[in-house]
Chain A
Amino acid sequence: TQLLEQSPQFLSIQEGENLTVYCNSSSVFSSLQWYRQEPGEGPVLLVTVVTGGEVKKLKRLTFQFGDARKDSSLHITAAQPGDTGLYLCAGAPRNYQLIWGAGTKLIIKP
């Protein structure tokens, strides 16, 4: 069974701080996606990474796919209250079903 483990499960920090959340697996994925889910809404796709070692930036968010395509990280610089939400990673094995992590609940305090 392929699993994606996200850490930490919960993170509460002050506005302006930096943070990193992780998504790890013992399995190789052909691609990996990050989603953000706000309370009462469905997840929204932020980014897809495909190549081992790939780094993608989305404003203050930096996403990295591990060289071996087994792990990924999301780094947020100068966090803002609008970054608050549940961050989910999802990996794509060879078939077309996504494998989901349990999520990191992020709270940014003003």
Chain B
Amino acid sequence: DVKVTQSSRYLVKRTGEKVFLECVQDMDHENMFWYRQDPGLGLRLIYFSYDVKMKEKGDIPEGYSVSREKKERFSLILESASTNQTSMYLCASSYVQGPLSGYTFGSGTRLTVV
């Protein structure tokens, strides 16, 4: 089975801290995604990457950056955490350029910024 592993299930950080969320997939998927999920808003795309060192902004990239130095690893960085970034963060990967193969998600990181 494809596995997408997110480094932390729960994180509590202080306002202004730099936060790193790590995601690793083990099936050689080209595409990787970072979403945040808030009640009633569904999944909102922050950034995605379709190849090593490539990144594209999603719908809500402000306050975030990403890094993909290796194919299996996609990191989300909160440059200066704020309380409105308290959310569930989900990493996903997919095999091909089109979405027909479906996305495989990690278990999520619930981030609280205080």
- A residues adjacent to B (C-beta < 8 A): 9, 31, 33, 40-45, 48, 50, 88, 90, 92, 96-98, 100-103
Q: A43-B90, A43-B103, A100-B42 are in contact. List 19 more A-B contacts (CB 8 A).
A: A9-B40, A31-B99, A33-B99, A33-B102, A40-B107, A42-B92, A42-B106, A43-B43, A48-B102, A88-B42, A88-B43, A90-B43, A96-B31, A96-B50, A96-B97, A97-B99, A100-B43, A102-B41, A103-B42
With a cutoff of 8 Å between Cβ atoms, the chain A residues found around residue B40 in the complex are: 9, 102
Whether the Cβ atoms of A92 and B98 lie closer than 8 Å is: yes
With a cutoff of 8 Å between Cβ atoms, the chain B residues found around residue A103 in the complex are: 42
A9 to B90: give the CA distance in the assembly, Å.
Answer: 21
With A42-B90, A97-B48, A102-B40 as given contacts, are A50 and B100 in contact (CB-CB < 8 Å)?
Answer: yes
Whether the Cβ atoms of B108 and A40 lie closer than 8 Å is: yes
With A42-B105, A43-B105 as given contacts, are A92 and B99 in contact (CB-CB < 8 Å)?
Answer: yes
With a cutoff of 8 Å between Cβ atoms, the chain B residues found around residue A31 in the complex are: 99-100
Whether the Cβ atoms of A96 and B42 lie closer than 8 Å is: no
Q: Which of the listed residues B31, B105, B107 has the most CB atoms from chain A within 10 Å of its own CB?
A: B105
With a cutoff of 8 Å between Cβ atoms, the chain A residues found around residue B42 in the complex are: 88, 100-103
A41 to B40: give the CA distance in the assembly, Å.
Answer: 17
15 intermolecular pairs with C-beta atoms under 8 Å apart: A31-B99, A33-B99, A41-B107, A41-B108, A42-B90, A42-B92, A42-B105, A42-B108, A43-B90, A92-B99, A92-B100, A96-B31, A97-B45, A101-B42, A103-B42
Whether the Cβ atoms of A42 and B107 lie closer than 8 Å is: yes
Q: Which of the listed residues B99, B103, B107, B108 has the most CB atoms from chain A within 10 Å of its own CB?
A: B99
